[in-house]
Chain A
Amino acid sequence: MAKYDALIEINIDEVKSLSHYVSYCKFYFKPKSEEKIENYLFKNKENNELKETDKVNIDKLKKDFPFISSSKAFKKDDFFKFLKKNKSNETTKDFLVTWLKEEIMKENKNFVFDNDQQLKNVNFISGILTLNIANDYVRKLPPYSFIIQASFKLKQPYFSKDDDEFYIISNPILKEKVFKVPMIRGSGWKGALASAFKELINEKSNHNERVEVVDSYLRIFGAGSDSIKAIEDYLKWKSSDLKNFKEKLLEFILFELGLTVDKNLLEKINEQNSYEGLHKFLEEQISHKLQKDNKNLPIELRTHKGRAIFYPTYFDKLSLEVINPHDRRKRAGTQPIYYEVVPEGTEGFLQIIYIPFDGILKENEVLKSEAEKDLENLLLAIEKVSQIGIGAKTKLGWGTFEVCEDKYYFTNKDLNLSEDLKGKRWLKWQD
């Protein structure tokens, strides 16, 4: 039996597939100290002098820690030199990272698994559609549904943290739970696009246009927060707390719609002292559609599910980045912190499906114009996210990408795009 029970043997020369890679990073036993290796190699440690014992012990060591036998440096002296070079006087932990960097990722500094079965499986199971299927698929959906599909290429590394504690890298990248493929979650896309949408809203100087984009935002992403509930309650006469309503309204405008508040808007909110006044205000600022009959609030101002479904993106490359926080007093690096990232240049695939499930009772024309606006705004938001970046550390430009040539939307009815977006080569898929 192996001396250290936790050891899980992996043939580290064979780290070729994603599962091998993750096993290496995740389960590979970390011999905590040089001493443990010495326990194998040297029976007696007298007067700080090490005495090498028989070959059997060396074989045991190799068996338990196969990376040692893979190391070119495996000779009695060189091995410790090798550990020392990797700052491993006290722990051999760094050895594993060094090995990962130099023997697994090698010169190109990437770990590539583009033909991996797990990647194929996870794409299939997540419902990411190929071009032909997408076209058939959209026909089965309610009228004016559409699917957006685009390949993109990362301009800078992408990182989003996984909460895996047992990993050789302190900041592992977010991976799909079962297949362990690095990913951007669907919710990640939703969040990033929603915040880009807020910028779109703020960019509109024309008031009516702004209200239209707000409507579109609420349709696509849905609403369900505390503040919208409070607004809903008030408009349905369930609550009459005007002060609370005003606060919630402001919260909604500020934190959910992300609107910049100017002097006028604040004054207007402060001035309102009656239901009618606020009703009018809402109509002006958030939705044109507020009806006099307060039992039928427009869908946008009710808690509701959004129309769009955001699919995850999976990647086929991994690499490492490092940051080294510096001691302010000594002005020298403390301890390098590694990040497992998807490197720049990696391609990914974005898919969004929009289903106007709540539009059954709406007139065709109304629904069409809504879907058109939503499509247009979503595409603009994608262009925006590509500049802002997705994931963590966007302040460093991480997560920015460029949308590749082949970008399409599929639809089952006619939806037209503005010339501007057509110019950016967003095209309707035709078979």
Chain B
Amino acid sequence: MNKKEVTVHLETITPLWTGDAWQENSKVRPSSLMGSLRFWFSVYWKAVKNGNNEKLNNNNVVADNLGELENPKEERTLKQIFLKRLLREGDNKSFDNILDESLEDLGLSVPSRLFGCTGWKSRVDIEISSFIKQELNFKEIDFNFPFKENGINTEHWIKSVLFQRKDSKIVLHKDVKLLLKTTEYWWDNYLSGFFNFYKDKIIFVGGKLSFGFGLVNIRVEGEQNDKEANIKGIKYNDIMRIHKIEKIKYDNRKKVLGYNFKYFLRREEEMRYRKRNFGEQGAASSIYVSNLIENDDYHVYLINFNNPFDNKKVPDKIFNKYQKLLFNHLKSRGDRNG
């Protein structure tokens, strides 16, 4: 049971929002991060590894319960299975390995084995080690860009969702580092593969994703860090497509939230596909656009995430259409300014 502690770096492409009981983003909340990690592990386990997944309840929320599981062949408890396996194989297998196999015998899904469920403690603990606070002022946001001509103004929505209690500014979090504590067995067998898989991809963490927040690149500190090498135009297993639109010319010195771009795309789409592709209240979107990112040049990411737990998929053709639409619009606007 050798312990393993790794520092996981959430490199925020756009800052994080994790709302507390007051729906304010007062601190980075570990429960939010843990929930996101678990979700992305489930996606990885289901879609990439083709492994067994959690049992869900009526609300489609994890309902695994160790107490309810019984070995189909012989009705025995985990303790009994574990002892028997230990006596049989303890010589050449590690403690955690035997535990893992005993849980496999009982039929507990791997995500629940790792992140815990009723009657089973999580094998992964996290502790937030550092983060950077960033303020976003209401006055700093451009609600029109870049679609002035279309008369699109998102002020009402942004105000009613993000600034509902405080009208002047909100706090966001950047570059979160967390200490992930587990043991070598679970790391080597499940987690290292998971982090390795996502290291050149974007995942969503926390809330207010449709506003453009929470786009994160997840990396294990100390590992090869070829930044942005692959995020540019990536597609895997039909689950996620990412397209980067670069060199946007923008001269208004205000911040633009991803919500503006998404709102534009949504309005351009035919009514019957809107809800399906862009979500609605109580159902998430399949299309996300990042905030306008101001590095050396202005760029945004257009992302399509096809939830593998759901069967609705945005086909290549549609994604390409959105890509083109956004590109053309940003480009023509840029040209005018240039």
What residues make up the interface of A, taking CB atoms closer than 8 Å to B?
101-102, 109, 156, 202, 247, 250-251, 254-255, 260-261, 263, 266-267, 270, 319-323, 325-332, 334-336, 338, 393-398, 400
CB-CB nearest in chain B for A263: B91
Q: Is the CB of B34 within 8 A of A396?
A: yes
Q: Measured between alpha carbons, how far is A400 from B126 in the docked complex, in Å?
A: 12
In whole Å, how far is A135's beta carbon from the nearest beta carbon of chain B?
37
A338 with B21: in contact, given A266-B91, A328-B309 (CB under 8 Å)?
yes
Q: Is the CB of A323 within 8 A of B61?
A: no
Q: Measured between alpha carbons, how far is A260 from B185 in the docked complex, in Å?
A: 14
Query: 8 tightest CB-CB pairs across the interface, nearest first?
Result: A331-B284, A320-B21, A396-B30, A395-B122, A330-B283, A322-B21, A328-B309, A325-B61
Q: Measured between alpha carbons, how far is A102 from B166 in the docked complex, in Å?
A: 13
Q: Is the CB of B22 within 8 A of A109?
A: yes
Q: Is the CB of A396 within 8 A of B22?
A: no
A395 with B121: in contact, given A202-B1, A329-B60 (CB under 8 Å)?
yes
Q: Is the CB of B125 within 8 A of A263?
A: no
What residues make up the interface of B, taking CB atoms closer than 8 Å to A?
1, 19-22, 26, 29-31, 34-35, 39, 42, 54, 56, 59-62, 79, 83, 86-87, 90-92, 95, 115-116, 121-122, 124-128, 279, 282-284, 307, 309-310
Q: Is the CB of B86 within 8 A of A321?
A: no
In whole Å, how far is B259's beta carbon from the nearest beta carbon of chain A?
16
Selected contact of A328 from candidates B30, B60, B125, CB within 8 Å: B60
Selected contact of B21 from candidates A101, A250, A326, A334, CB within 8 Å: A101
Q: Measured between alpha carbons, how far is A229 from B115 in the docked complex, in Å?
A: 35
CB-CB nearest in chain B for A269: B87
Which of B21, B56, B59, B307 lies at the interface centre, i.e. has the most chain A CB atoms within 10 A of its CB?
A: B21
Chain A hits for B20, CB < 8 A: 109, 320-322
Selected contact of B126 from candidates A251, A328, A395, CB within 8 Å: A395
A-B contact pairs, 8 of them (CB 8 A): A247-B83, A250-B86, A267-B91, A321-B20, A323-B35, A325-B35, A395-B125, A396-B125
Q: Is the CB of A261 within 8 A of B90?
A: yes
Q: Is the CB of A330 within 8 A of B284?
A: yes
Q: Measured between alpha carbons, how far is A86 from B30 in the docked complex, in Å?
A: 26
Q: Is the CB of B126 within 8 A of A326?
A: no
A266 with B86: in contact, given A260-B95, A329-B60 (CB under 8 Å)?
yes
Chain A hits for B34, CB < 8 A: 395-396
Q: Measured between alpha carbons, how far is A390 from B56 in the docked complex, in Å?
A: 29
Chain A hits for B19, CB < 8 A: 322
In whole Å, how far is B162's beta carbon from the nearest beta carbon of chain A?
16
Q: Measured between alpha carbons, how far is A325 from B39 in the docked complex, in Å?
A: 11
CB-CB nearest in chain A for B43: A328
- Given A322-B20, A395-B121, A398-B30, output 14 extra A-B contacts at Cβ < 8 Å: A109-B20, A109-B22, A202-B1, A251-B79, A266-B87, A321-B31, A325-B62, A326-B35, A329-B307, A332-B279, A393-B31, A395-B115, A395-B126, A397-B127
Chain A hits for B83, CB < 8 A: 247, 250-251, 254
Chain A hits for B56, CB < 8 A: 328
Q: Is the CB of B31 within 8 A of A326?
A: no
Q: Is the CB of B87 within 8 A of A396?
A: no
Chain B hits for A326, CB < 8 A: 35, 39, 61
CB-CB nearest in chain A for B305: A331
Q: Is the CB of B90 within 8 A of A334?
A: no
Q: Measured between alpha carbons, how far is A327 from B57 in the docked complex, in Å?
A: 10
CB-CB nearest in chain A for B281: A332
Q: Measured between alpha carbons, how far is A327 from B54 in the docked complex, in Å?
A: 12
Q: Is the CB of B95 within 8 A of A261?
A: yes
Q: Is the CB of A328 within 8 A of B1?
A: no
Q: Is the CB of A396 within 8 A of B21?
A: no
Q: Is the CB of B307 within 8 A of A397?
A: no
Q: Is the CB of A397 within 8 A of B30?
A: yes
CB-CB nearest in chain B for A265: B90
CB-CB nearest in chain B for A331: B284
Q: Measured between alpha carbons, how far is A400 from B179 in the docked complex, in Å?
A: 14
A330 with B126: in contact, given A263-B90, A393-B31 (CB under 8 Å)?
no
CB-CB nearest in chain B for A330: B283
A396 with B31: in contact, given A260-B95, A332-B284 (CB under 8 Å)?
yes
CB-CB nearest in chain A for B30: A396
Q: Measured between alpha carbons, how far is A100 from B79 in the docked complex, in Å?
A: 44
Q: Measured between alpha carbons, how far is A286 from B125 in the docked complex, in Å?
A: 30
In whole Å, how far is A22's beta carbon from the nearest beta carbon of chain B?
18
Chain B hits for A102, CB < 8 A: 22
In whole Å, how far is A56's beta carbon from the nearest beta carbon of chain B?
36
Q: Measured between alpha carbons, how far is A214 from B134 in the docked complex, in Å?
A: 50
